[in-house]
Structure 1
Amino acid sequence: MPAQIYAPFERFNFSNKFCFLTGEPLQSEEEKIQVFPQWLMSRYNLEESPFKLLDESIATYKDLKLPCSANINDTFIEPLEQDIAKAFASGYGAVKALDELKLFQWAGKLLYGIVFNEIQAGIKLMHAQGEEFSMSQSILLKFSQLHLMLQSINLPIIFEDFKPFSLFLFKVNNKEEEFGYRDEINTQTFALRINDFGLVICLQDNASNYYYHKQLYDQIRNDTLHPIQFEEFSGKVFYSNYLFNRLPEYNILPVGDDIYIEEMPLRGLSSKPLFDEWQNKTYGQVLENFWKNWGFLLLEIIKNPEKPMSFLLDEAGNKIPADQIRLPI
């Protein structure tokens, strides 16, 4: 008999009384795990750091938790965390050697944990105002599909000849104690820059962003990047995933004890390109945000509207070596 998939969005079950991954009842509401794992918070002193939620309220990193059964945590979550923690502590080479699916599961669990906390906060706020909490159908579908794919952590789920994600990994000259993290929940885009590496993941695009940026990625993927170069590439991916205009759909096929997930064609019945048109002014606004540490303003970035400022490629389209980059202090 095939394993049973848990679908919390069908009944909108976001109570702390049930395991986030399986829906099984918990022994106590204290049965929880940290969204940002303890090893990561301890390494970068994040516990008391502020974390801003979508409703503008401020939590701390340690406040963000997920209800999770002790059995699921011990059997599946903790081994995954140990593999990721060991690789991240070792650095770029070890991260590169990891199974990409593990990176997807780990990043997806973290982002879903934030979504879970956002939904709980939204439900409380709406109930306090005497209103029902609601979400758009497209966002609902995105989050439910992410949760489905997260169950590859604990169920025999097989992705049938496709990757549900795009992953970009670089070696980066980071400062030793630097913790660079950002996410975009609606597009399910995640970036992390620590130790000697940086990674960007689009969690639910069926590798579309990977192919969108493949030419540039192939050109620079084996280089060690300056942090501003990594942030530039991240900005490109965050913006392109915003332009990605399809909502992937899947067939779920139980076969024996396994569950196969098969991608539906992204083009569907539409002749429209997968990505909306790139606008350099909007991209420049994204870069301004990603380059905040270096103080570049939009007017500088798009001084030439046809060719925004770049630290990755020169005017002729050649790679700029990281050691040739000179920045204002």
Structure 2
Amino acid sequence: MAEMLFNPYLELIFDEHFCFLTGDLTNEKMSVFPQWLMDHFKFGDEKIEMMDKTKSYTYADLELPCSPKVKKAFDELDLKIQEAYKDGYEGMATLDEELVFQWSGRMVYGLLYYEMLYERDRLLRLGEDFKLSLALRERFGQFHLMLQSIIEPVSFVGKKPWSIAIFPLKYSADIFSYRDDAINLMFSFGVNGFGFIASLQDAGIIGESQKDILDKMKGHVLHPIQFEELYARFHYSDYILQYKPEFNIESSENGITIEALPIEGTAEKPIFGFWDENIFAQLLSNYWSVYGIEREDILRFQKPPLSFLENPYSKEFIKPETITLPF
């Protein structure tokens, strides 16, 4: 059955008249970012740049061609998320992870779709063919298949393909924090009440690598600077992951099942490469720039690197209420 489902990465089909998820001919569109979210936080008119920084759109401009069936499915999902959102962390924490995957996956895939369109059109102007490596075609094609679970009998069994962490978070009431890395399929979302971080196709290995700090966080309402540090840890872990996540995908007359396969390292090649504090500090300083914290403040002479998640000496979790920075 997997062979029967639309996969735009086989022929690199990205066209405004073909539904992004089913390939059906259509004239309908849906927003990449949920309309209620843009209305609530009033960011529809704000600019978002493509990866190479030469092209930008407003968030409201970003739309995906979709069939009526797909639009209806995502509208229904939006209602579920919106209802959970009203109850803050307690509401979000009760959601099935698959719903969080589909909801965040819609936004990440939408941005990925626009990256594909931009690159295709850029090469077309140069008289060149649009190509993707086989590795990227496989990765994005698998992600697209997983996202089709919202409308097709695609189910996840055993070990899930993603790492998703949801936690209480304190922000000023009108602040909405969002980060993504569409190429590496990562997403973070934070508002007053809760936040979540999703690595959408890591076979769960990044969540496992951060289990110690995630366990220490339990029962605490994170300060935003801790949220940014946690996402930086997830993001950098993805960067140094030395194995490609693999999935067992099986088709039957009843549908498709997807199971993430365990990732096992060796002494010669561990699961993660060397954690370079210099590179991590540079990444973290990008996220902490709003607080005026620079790389030199993180890498302190003859001291452990600065952290707001763990005491560098005792490794105890730093209680959010002891952090005096604004939120």
- TM-score w.r.t. structure 1 length? 0.93
Cα distance in 2 between the residues matched to 1:142 and 1:22: 18
* 1:286 corresponding residue in structure 2: 283
Cα distance in 2 between the residues matched to 1:40 and 1:145: 27
Residue type of the alignment partner of 2:309: L
Cα distance in 1 between the residues matched to 2:101 and 2:2: 23
> Residue 16 in 1 paired to residue 13 in 2?
no
* 2:30 corresponding residue in structure 1: 33
In the TM superposition, residue 265 of structure 1 has moved relative to its aligned partner by 4.5
Residue type of the alignment partner of 2:142: Q
Contact 2:112 2:183 in 1 (8 A): no
Q: How does 1:1-329 map to 2 (within 5 A)?
A: 4-26=4-26, 28=27, 31-56=28-53, 57-74=55-72, 76-267=73-264, 272-304=269-301, 307-314=304-311, 315-327=313-325
Cα distance in 1 between the residues matched to 2:215 and 2:134: 36
In the TM superposition, residue 124 of structure 1 has moved relative to its aligned partner by 1.1
Cα distance in 2 between the residues matched to 1:207 and 1:304: 35
Q: 1:292 to 1:60 in 2, by over 3 A?
A: same
Cα distance in 2 between the residues matched to 1:192 and 1:71: 27
Structure 1 stretches of 5 or more lacking a match?
none
Cα distance in 1 between the residues matched to 2:127 and 2:297: 48
Contact 1:284 1:302 in 2 (8 A): yes
Cα distance in 2 between the residues matched to 1:41 and 1:305: 46
Moved more, 186-195 or 197-206: 186-195
Equivalent pairs counted in the alignment come to: 325
Q: 1:146 to 1:271 in 2, by over 3 A?
A: farther
Cα distance in 2 between the residues matched to 1:304 and 1:230: 25
Moved more, 300-309 or 160-169: 300-309
Q: CA RMSD in A?
A: 2.0
Percent identity between the two aligned chains: 34
Cα distance in 2 between the residues matched to 1:304 and 1:275: 26
Contact 1:251 1:263 in 2 (8 A): yes
Cα distance in 2 between the residues matched to 1:270 and 1:210: 21
Residue type of the alignment partner of 2:235: F
Cα distance in 1 between the residues matched to 2:252 and 2:34: 34
In the TM superposition, residue 304 of structure 1 has moved relative to its aligned partner by 4.5
Structure 2 stretches of 5 or more lacking a match?
none
Cα distance in 1 between the residues matched to 2:147 and 2:300: 43
Q: What's the secondary structure of 1:224's corresponding residue? A: coil
Q: 1:2 to 1:114 in 2, by over 3 A?
A: closer
Residue type of the alignment partner of 1:299: E
In the TM superposition, residue 72 of structure 1 has moved relative to its aligned partner by 2.1
Contact 2:161 2:247 in 1 (8 A): no
Contact 1:228 1:291 in 2 (8 A): yes
Moved more, 278-287 or 240-249: 240-249
Q: 1:3 to 1:9 in 2, by over 3 A?
A: closer
In the TM superposition, residue 213 of structure 1 has moved relative to its aligned partner by 0.5
Q: 1:325 to 1:34 in 2, by over 3 A?
A: same
In the TM superposition, residue 137 of structure 1 has moved relative to its aligned partner by 2.6
